[in-house]
Amino acid sequence: MDSKLNGLTRSGNDTDSSTSATLNRRQLLLARVGWLVVFVLTIGLFSSSIPAQYDYLVSISDPKLDPATVRANLEANGISIEFYAACLLSISVASATAWVAVGVGIFWRRSDDWMALFTSLSLITFGTFSMYSDPAVLAGQSIAVWLPVRLLGFFGSASMLLFFFLFPDGRFVPRWTRWMVVLWAALQMGYYFFPDSTLDIYRSFPSINFVTITAFACVVVGSQLYRYRRVSSPLQRQQTKSVVFGTVAAMLGTVGFGMPLYASPTAAQYGEPYALVFEAAISASLLLIPLSIGVAIVRNRLWAIDIVINRTLVYGALTASLVLVYFGGVAATQAIFHALTGQEKQPQLAIVVSTLVIAALFTPLRRRIQSFIDRRFYRRKYDARKTLEVLSAELRQETNLDALSEDLLEAVRETMQPTHVSLWLRPDHALKDKEKLAAFREPGPS
C-alpha cells in the first residue's frame, strides 16, 4: 500500500496497511489552536446572529414578500408572526447545532489527524454560515462582522466540496480535480464577496447556477467512484460507502420533501404552516450527511454499512412496489365493481381487497427483490450463498469421502477465493481401536 495514505483508516485493531498522517507535537499544537480560534469565532458570531435573524423574519424584510399578505395568511391559520418566526429559526438553530456537534465529536476523537481537523471545521462552518444563516442579513448588521461572516461562509462552502474530493485519504484522485475546487472557490467568491453583482450567478443567472451545481455534483460522484474502484483499500471503500450512502439518502430526502413545495408554490411561501413541516423534514434529511461523515471517520468497523445499504435497497423497492400495487389495486377493484354492478364507488371493499393482496405479496415479493439485488449488486455474496446451498444438498446425499472432499474444496475456492487450499483428514484413533478390539475378539476358524 502507498505510505502516503491518510490516517483516517487507522485505529486500534483495525489498522490498515497505510500510514497515518498524524501531526507531530508542534504541528498538533498549532492545528488545535487554529481549530479552537475558528470554532470560537464561528460559534460566537452564529450565536450573536440569532436575534438579527429573528428580527429579519418577524419584520418580513425580504423584498420578495408582501408583509400584509403574509400576516393575513398567518392570521387565517391562527398563527402569530412571532411564533412562526420562532419555529422557523428553531429548525435552523437545531440543525446547525447537530452539524457542529458532529464536527466537535470528530475533533474530540481524531484531533491528531489533519484530515479529521479539516473535516471538523468544514462541518462546523458549513452547517452554520453556509447553510442555515443568510450572510447578507448578518453582515448587514455591523461593518465589523462583515468580513468574518463572509469568510466563514466562503470557507464552509468551499471546504465541503474540497472534502468530497479529498476523502478518505487526503489526496486528489484524479489529480485534475483540484482545479474543480479552484473553479468552485471562484464561483463562491462572487456569491459571498460580490453579492447582487454579475459575478454572483446565484442571483444574476439562476439557471446557469443550477447547471453548474449539477455538474460539480456529477464530478464529485465520478471521482469517488474512480477512487473506490482504482485506489481505495478495503477499509477506505467501506468509509466511502458510508459517506456516499448518507449523502445520496440526504439528497433523495431533500428532493422528496422539497417536491411538494415546488409543486405547490403557495405551500412554499413564507407564512404557510406546511412550509414549516417540509423545512423541518428537509433539514432532518440533510443531517444524514454529517452523521455519515462522522461515523466513517470516527469508527473504523464499518462492515455493517453493507447490511444497511442492502436492507435500504430491498425495503425501499418493496415499499415502492407495494404502494403501486395498493393504489393500482384500489383503482382496478373500483373499475371492476363499477363494470359489474354499475355503482360508482366501492371504497371499503376495494381497500380491503388491496390490503389482502399486499399481505399475500409481501413475503414472496421481498424474496424476489432480495434475490434480484443480491444478483445485481452483491454478485459475489449471491454466488457464495448459492454455492453453499448446493454443497449442503450434496452433503446430505453423498457418501463417498473422496467426492465429499472434492466438493468441499471446490466450495471453499468459489466462496472465499484463497490463493491455496488443501484438506487434511485427521485419523480417528478411537475407531481404529474399536476395529482392533473387534478383530481380537473375533473367533478363528475351527
Q: Is the pLDDT of residue 341 over 70?
A: no
In a domain, 364, yes or no: no
**How many domains are there within the chain?**
3
The CA distance from 313 to 371, in Å, is: 12
The answer to whether residue 162 is domain-embedded is yes
Same domain, 114 and 257: yes
- Give yes or no for residue 379 having a pLDDT over 50: yes
Alpha-carbon distance of 305 to 235, in angstroms, equals 12
55-83 confidence digits (pLDDT tens): 888 887 776 777 777 787 777 777 888 88
Asked if the model's pLDDT at residue 384 lies above 70, the reply is no
Alpha-carbon distances, residue 126 vs 46, 150, 253, 300, 377 (angstroms): 12, 12, 19, 25, 33
What values do phi and psi take at 22, rounded to 5?
Answer: -75, 160
Same domain, 253 and 393: no
346 pLDDT above the threshold of 70:
no
Average pLDDT over residues 397-406: 62
- What value does the mean pLDDT take over residues 337-347? 63
pTM: 0.67
What does the pLDDT average to over 125-131?
86
* Confidence band, pLDDT 50/70/90 cuts, at residue 204: confident
CB 100, CB 128: distance < 8 Å: yes
Among 76-85, 287-296, 314-323, 380-389, name the most confident range: 287-296
Give the contacts of 223 (CB within 8 A, at least 6 positions apart): 164, 165, 173, 174, 177
- What mean pLDDT, rounded, does the chain reach? 74
The CA distance from 330 to 256, in Å, is 24
Asked if the model's pLDDT at residue 381 lies above 90, the reply is no
pLDDT exceeds 50 at position 18? no
Q: Are residues 247 and 333 in the same domain?
A: no
Q: Answer yes or no: do 252 and 328 share one domain.
A: no
CB 4 within 8 A of CB 19: yes
Strand partners, 113: 22
Is the pLDDT at 166 greater than 70? The verdict is yes
State the pLDDT confidence band at 7, using cuts at 50, 70 and 90. very low
Residue 184 has pLDDT above 90, yes or no: yes
C-alpha cell at 328: 393500482
Identify whether 369 is part of a domain. no
Q: Is the dihedral of CA 11, 13, 15, 20 positive or negative?
A: positive
Residue 160 confidence (pLDDT) above 60: yes
Q: Could you give the CA distance from residue 98 to residue 287 in angstroms, rounded to a whole number?
A: 7
Tell me if residue 200 falls in helix, strand or coil: coil
How many angstroms separate the CA atoms of 29 and 16, rounded? 26
**Could you tell me which residue, 420 or 83, shows the higher pLDDT?**
83
Tens digit of pLDDT for each residue in 223-274? Answer: 888 888 888 877 788 788 888 888 888 888 888 887 766 665 555 566 677 7
Same domain, 237 and 341: no
Instruction: Say if residue 354 is in the same domain as residue 282.
Output: no
Q: Which residue has the cell 452483491?
A: 378
Sign of CA dihedral 188, 190, 195, 198: negative
pLDDT at 6: 40
* Residue 91 sits in the same domain as residue 188: yes
DSSP 3-state of 245: helix
Range of the domain at 423: 383-441
Amino acid residing at 244: V
| Per-residue pLDDT tens over the stretch 262-310 | 665 555 566 677 778 888 888 888 988 998 888 888 765 544 445 655 6
Q: What are the pLDDT digits (tens) for 26-37?
A: 888 888 899 999
Residue 22's SS3 state is strand
Task: Say whether both 345 and 258 belong to one domain.
Answer: no
pLDDT tens per residue across span 349-367: 666 776 777 777 778 877 7
Q: According to the model, what pLDDT value does residue 349 have?
A: 63
User: What is the signed CA dihedral for 236, 252, 202, 213, rounded to 10 degrees?
Assistant: 40
Q: Is residue 202 part of a domain?
A: yes
74, 167: one domain = yes
Cell (9 digits) for 354: 388491496
* Rounded-to-10 torsion of CA 426, 427, 428, 434: 180
Mean pLDDT (whole number) for 198-217: 85
pLDDT at 81 (0 to 100):
83
Q: Which residues contact 2 (CB under 8 A, 6 or more apart)?
A: 18
d(CA 298, CA 293) in angstroms, rounded, equals: 9
pLDDT confidence of residue 11: 39
- The 8 Å CB, 24+ separation contacts for 318-324 are 318/362, 318/365, 318/366, 318/369, 321/365, 321/369, 322/358, 322/361, 322/362, 322/365
What is the grid cell recorded at 402? 473422496
* Among candidate residues 300, 329, 344, the one where a domain is terminated: 300
Q: Do 162 and 228 fall into the same domain? A: yes
